[in-house]
Structure formats: C-alpha cells, structure tokens
Amino acid sequence: MALIHQTTMKPTKLELLTAWLPTRPWYRGTGEPDLTKAGGFRLDDPAGEVGIEFMVTTDTSAPTPVHYLVPLTYRGAPLPDADHALIGTSEHGVLGKRWIYDGTHDPVLITQFLALFEGRAEAQQQSISDALDHEVTRAYAGDGPLSMSAVAASDDQQSTELAVAPGGTLRLKRVLQPAPDGPVGLPEGASGHVTGHWGLPDGTRARAVFAVVR
C-alpha cells in the first residue's frame, strides 16, 4: 500500500487547482474559486511509481457551495504525450519535484479505477497509510473484465467520459450532488458504479455516485 508522507508541497494542490479549475468546461464559477479539501480516497499503483488520488474539493466563492471531483496522479517524471493533462508541478518535501496530472488522462489511474469497479483493487484512506476506506463502495454486474480504450477522455459540463471495453463507457462525475439518505443503488442503465463521500461546509457528511459504467 502507498506510503502517505506528512510533508509540504509548494505550490499546494489547492493552489494548483485554483488556477486550473476555471479552465474546465464543468467549472460552475464565474471567477477565481475559493477551494477547500473536502474528502476523497486513494488507490495504489501496483508498480509503486504513481500516486493516485480522487480528491473532492469544495468551492465556496459563490453563495451556494459547489463540490468537484478531481482525480489526480502524481509522477516523478513527465507522462509522455500528456502536456494537455498537466495541472502543474510541485516540490514535494520528501519526494522532490512532482508532475501532477488530471488523472482521467493517465492510464495508470484509469486501469486501477476499473479494477476498483470489479473488486480487484481496494480504496485507501486519503491521508492515512495502509488503511482501507470502507465508506467507498462499488458494484459491477457487466459481462467480462473492464479495460481502457485508446480513445481519449472528453469533458462536458457535468462529467468526463471515456470509452472502455467491452463496448461501454466510463462516466466520471465532476460536479457532485449529495445523494438522499439511505443506500446508493445501481443507477438505471448502469452495469457498475463507485460511490464516495466527503464533508460539507456545515460539518455534515455527504455521499454520491462518483462514476458509472454503462
């Protein structure tokens, strides 16, 4: 399991996201966001080379807070042919310079995320080493194993969509809406889903479907 270093990053992840989020088609604000880290989880890279984090960040710059899901990967060297997905670079207090990417364009993240759908990977606590996150739930009822397509990810005003085999799509929600109380079932028409959690500004906790496979 990944080792979480309790150290500094300069600039911080939130500082990088403050500049990057307004460039996205699914950003709901009209100016610079005011971001806080609200929750999320991590996945392990079996090779131990790439950091994988699914961060929920809340923008309180408008009267109604908006919650964004941002998958991130952290690399010790640039990802080839992925300049379009680079969020920025940061100096890690232990690991040195890190290249931080929008993880929907990183094959390591997508491969492990599909493994999570199938139950072959387990969600990890966001800020604690060697600790499973049992609040992240998943389900998959499709035929055959999932794998990443060569087709690039595309964004709309709500989500990011990727083609996956066999013959389906992975749709990752970017703007999260807290689900009603009670268990989150398999969305209509979906063969799989992952749900996650985060903290709201009023101190309560929220859950929502983070992604579906259709």
Residue range 56-79, pLDDT digits in tens: 999 999 899 999 999 999 999 999
What is the extent of the structural domain holding 39?
Answer: 9-213
User: Is the pLDDT reported for residue 184 higher than 80?
Assistant: no
2 within some domain: no
Domain-located, residue 1: no
Answer whether residue 96 is part of any domain. Answer: yes
Q: Which two tokens stand for residue 159?
A: 């989500």
* Assigned domain for 51 exists: yes
The count of structural domains within the chain is 1
Give mean pLDDT, residues 93-103.
Answer: 87
Q: Band of the pLDDT at 179, cuts 50, 70, 90?
A: confident
* Residue 181 within a domain: yes
In angstroms, the CA 56 to CA 106 distance is 18
Residue 3 predicted with pLDDT over 80: no
What percent of the chain clears pLDDT 70, i.e. is strictly above it? 93
pLDDT grade, residue 167 (50/70/90)?
confident
User: pLDDT at residue 42 above 90?
Assistant: yes
| Exposure on the CB side of residue 14, measured as CA atoms within 13 A | 12
Confidence at residue 127, expressed as pLDDT on a 0 to 100 scale:
78
In a domain? residue 76 = yes
Integer CA distances (angstroms), 46 to 2, 64, 68, 72, 127, in order: 9, 39, 27, 16, 19
Mean pLDDT within 172-180: 89
pLDDT for res 16: 97
113 inside domain: yes
Q: What is the pLDDT of residue 206?
A: 92
Band of the pLDDT at 7, cuts 50, 70, 90?
A: low
Confidence of residue 169 (pLDDT cuts 50, 70, 90): very high
pLDDT band at 142 (very low <50, low <70, confident <90, very high): confident
The answer to whether residue 3 sits within a structural domain is: no
Under 8 Å between Cβ of 132 and 64: no
Mean pLDDT of 41-58: 96
**Does the structure show a pLDDT above 60 at 99?**
yes
The CA angle 11-82-151, to the nearest 5 degrees, is 135
Asked if residues 160 and 18 have their Cβ atoms less than 8 Å apart, the reply is no
